[in-house]
Amino acid sequence: MTTDSPDEGILKFVLFQSKHVKLYNLPRNLLSQLKTGSGIDEQVECLWTGSVNLVREIKQDNLQRIKHDDPHTIPAFTHHRLKLEFVGSNSNDDNLWGETWYAPINKNLRAELGLEPNKEDIDTEVETSHVKMEQIIAIANDGTDTIRELSYELGIVSTQWFRVIVQLPHSGYHPKISDAPDGSFEEKSDDGDDDDEKNVVQQVALLLRFKHDFESDEFLEQLENYNMRYDHLQRQYYYDKWAEILDQDTVSNGDDADDDADDKSKESELDTGAEDLSLADNENNYEAKDGQEHAEVSSDSEDDDFGDFVSK
């Protein structure tokens, strides 16, 4: 579970604002009740009225510190996210009533990136099987989307209604992260205990309603634009991290190969030098023997010539 310190190296951009929004309770049997023909307003109770701010957050220092003890593990892409702030109408400086954290979840991302081990492709199997890719698999405790438009589910034309997962103000961003290829998740605390309730952020599912359709349409447009931007940045992040790991492995293997080649080269040079030395000694021996024979022949020839001259 990732926990950020308040406003630590975080850039914030307000993408959308709206006043006069309402939050309602969300009955478990709401859909079945709506089939009776009754309106949504008649089935739910208004819990809160105020305004909302849709804020895009980027954690800058996460880019420099996003490292893992295992060089073959890619940390999750967590430094981009949205926060929907529910702001009360009172005049207090700190009037944040609650917050909803959002990031588009894609549990099939590894397969879509072509980084899933494939037994039919030996090269891909070898390259990807030893690399762990951490990714966000949920933000809500129940694993559902933290912001979801409900017009299709409720069978209505208006886009004013949304299901949102709301947390206490300033409770922070706590995505659930997994490195399992199937996206399974096992909660672990810092002391190693599993399913520690201390790490579970209190959340509640509520109904969010905008006063006007044009506001909800603009809100949806901002979400869709952010989803596309997030998907692009996330894919680029994982591609770059995979390339770094493969490059490191290639350099490491290359260094080992160079060391082996240098050792073999040194051995070869020693062997070749010994052979060259032996050949040089043999050639010198042959030259010495030829020189000695030539000297003997020359001596005999000179003795004969000198003798004939004297005899005359």
Look at the block and give the residue holding tokens 């050792």. Answer: 263
pLDDT tens for 90-137 read 655 568 999 999 999 998 888 888 776 655 555 555 566 678 889 999
Q: How many of the other CB atoms lie within 10 Å of CB of 72? A: 12
> CA 230, 170, 150: angle at the middle one, nearest 5?
55
Q: Taking the mean position of all CA atoms in its chain, how far away is CA 207?
A: 33
Give the model's confidence band at 89: pLDDT under 50 very low, under 70 low, under 90 confident, else very high. confident
C-alpha–C-alpha distance, residues 213 and 224, integer Å: 16
Give the model's confidence band at 71: pLDDT under 50 very low, under 70 low, under 90 confident, else very high. confident
Q: What's the mean per-residue pLDDT of the chain?
A: 76
pLDDT tens for 158-200 read 788 999 999 999 999 999 999 886 656 555 433 444 454 556 8
Question: Nearest-CA neighbor of 133 among 235, 248, 4?
Answer: 235
Question: Nearest-CA neighbor of 176 among 198, 200, 203, 196?
Answer: 200
Task: Give pTM, 2 decimals.
Answer: 0.72
C-alpha–C-alpha distance, residues 119 and 133, integer Å: 18
Share of the chain above pLDDT 70, in %: 60
Which element (helix H / strand E) includes 100?
strand 96-102
Give the model's confidence band at 149: pLDDT under 50 very low, under 70 low, under 90 confident, else very high. very high
C-alpha–C-alpha distance, residues 297 and 179, integer Å: 90
| Mean pLDDT on 43-50 | 92
Helices (H), 113-212: 122-129, 151-154
| pLDDT at residue 28, rounded to an integer | 83
Question: Nearest-CA neighbor of 155 among 239, 35, 54?
Answer: 35
Phi and psi for 114 in degrees, rounded to 5? 75, 25
Q: Is the pLDDT of residue 309 over 50?
A: no
How far are the Cα atoms of 65, 73, 241 from residue 68, in angstroms, in the given order?
9, 6, 12
